[in-house]
């Protein structure tokens, strides 16, 4: 698995949807995936400074460790999946407004 920090986007703009669709079509491993979690509700009901969890007003999150997963059956496919994850992250980076602390890696 390819770990990178999760990223949050404020809204699913046409740009975010187009980037996500374009990069999802590049997946080569049946184990890789790209998912979007919808936030809000109870998450947004707590003040921004009340806990260590920031970005409570953010509506959607992409998490590259869990939601944009670059997985493969063997080491033979790892380089391709790693590059796919990095390219996806780089393409979405201008659209994000922060990261989710629980998805940060070493």
Q: Write down the CATH number for the domain with range 7-103.
A: 3.40.462.20
The tokens describing 96, both together, are: 């994000």
Give per-10-residue mean pLDDT for the chain (106 aa).
Answer: 57 87 90 76 74 66 57 87 88 77 57
Q: Where are the alpha helices (DSSP H) in 1-106?
A: 14-24, 78-92
How confident is the model at residue 4, as a pLDDT?
A: 45
How confident is the model at residue 83, as a pLDDT?
A: 92
CB atoms within 10 A of CB 30: 9
- In the chain, % helix, strand, coil (3-state, to 5) comes to 35, 15, 50
Enumerate the domain spans of the chain: 7-103
pTM, 2 dp: 0.69
Spatial CA neighbour of 6 closest among 88, 52, 67, 51 = 67
- Do 95 and 22 meet the contact criterion of CB atoms below 8 Å apart? no
Spatial CA neighbour of 60 closest among 92, 24, 104, 25 = 92
């Amino acid at each position: 698995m390819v770990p990178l920090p999760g990223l949050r986007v404020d809204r699913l703009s046409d740009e975010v949807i187009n980037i996500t669709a374009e990069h999802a079509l590049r997946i080569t491993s049946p184990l890789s995936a790209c998912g979007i979690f919808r936030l809000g509700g109870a998450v947004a009901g707590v003040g921004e400074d009340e806990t260590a969890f920031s970005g409570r007003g953010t509506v959607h999150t992409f998490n590259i460790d869990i939601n944009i997963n670059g997985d493969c059956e063997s080491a033979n496919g790892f380089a391709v999946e790693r590059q796919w994850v990095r390219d996806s992250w780089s393409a979405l980076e201008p659209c994000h407004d922060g990261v989710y602390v629980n998805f940060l890696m070493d």
